[in-house]
Amino acid sequence: MSFTVAIDGPAAAGKGTISKAVAAHFGFAHLDTGLLYRAVGAKVIAGAAPIAAAQALETTDLENDSLRTPQVAQAASEVAVIPQVRAALIAFQRSFAGRDGGAVLDGRDIGTVICPDAHVKLFVTASAACRAERRFQELVGKGMDMTLDTVLADVKERDARDRNRKTAPLVPADDSIVIDTSDLSAAEAIAAAIKVVDAARS
């Protein structure tokens, strides 16, 4: 039986941490849909055309550590504006969501466009300053050399592009539950999300 948890929210809000933990807790599969756009962005940086790159995407393209750089994130948000790029990625996401045993998908349009009938919809957010600080620590921890100001600018620019695009803009689904992680530890945010999923399952 399928059970779909949709987790949307702006850049670096903690969606990945929460999604992984929720999936592990309930034994669900997890798809970070941002990786799809990042993989297309990476191919465009390497010289490919965005729509063709999205149409030819393979799961092995998602297994690349270099997809986590801010440069690839920017390229991802630029290709994510293109309706045909988004369209090319829909079937894979829906099929993942419908798999037996439960699935958690995190992204920007999961509860609104990809899985409007998801059993649980969370919108995970936090102040831009908090999100930038967390992403900064994460990137520095991976040995990347950058300033907090650059990370904040990147997060704000991507948010604006994601919120203002015509196709599948970043917006909470009407029936989503908002979790603001600004003043929550990772453990508290995870516990809040697990509580919502638990309630929906019983």
In the bound state with ligand CDP, the residue whose beta carbon lies nearer, of 162 and 197, is 162
Give alpha helix (H) positions in the chain.
Answer: 15-26, 34-45, 50-55, 70-79, 83-97, 128-141, 148-164, 186-201
Length of the chain: 202
- Options 19-27, 56-64, 102-110, 139-147: segment touching ligand CDP (CB under 6 A): 102-110
- Ranked by CB distance to ligand CDP, the top (closest) residue is 34
Note the maximum CA span of the chain.
Answer: 49
- Distance separating alpha carbons of residues 6 and 122, to the nearest angstrom: 6
Phi-psi bin for 132: left (phi > 0), alpha (psi -120 to 50), beta?
alpha
Closest contact distance (angstroms) between CB of 104 and ligand CDP is 13
Residue 162 near ligand CDP by CB under 6 A: yes
Residue 50 near ligand CDP by CB under 6 A: no
Residue 76 near ligand CDP by CB under 6 A: yes
Q: What is the amino acid identity at position 72?
A: V
Member of 7, 18, 42, 73 binding ligand CDP (CB under 6 A) = 73
Q: What single-letter DSSP state applies at residue 110?
A: I
In the bound state with ligand CDP, the residue whose beta carbon lies nearer, of 11 and 27, is 11
By CB under 6 A, name the binding residues for ligand CDP: 11-12, 33-34, 37-38, 73, 76-77, 80, 107-109, 158, 162
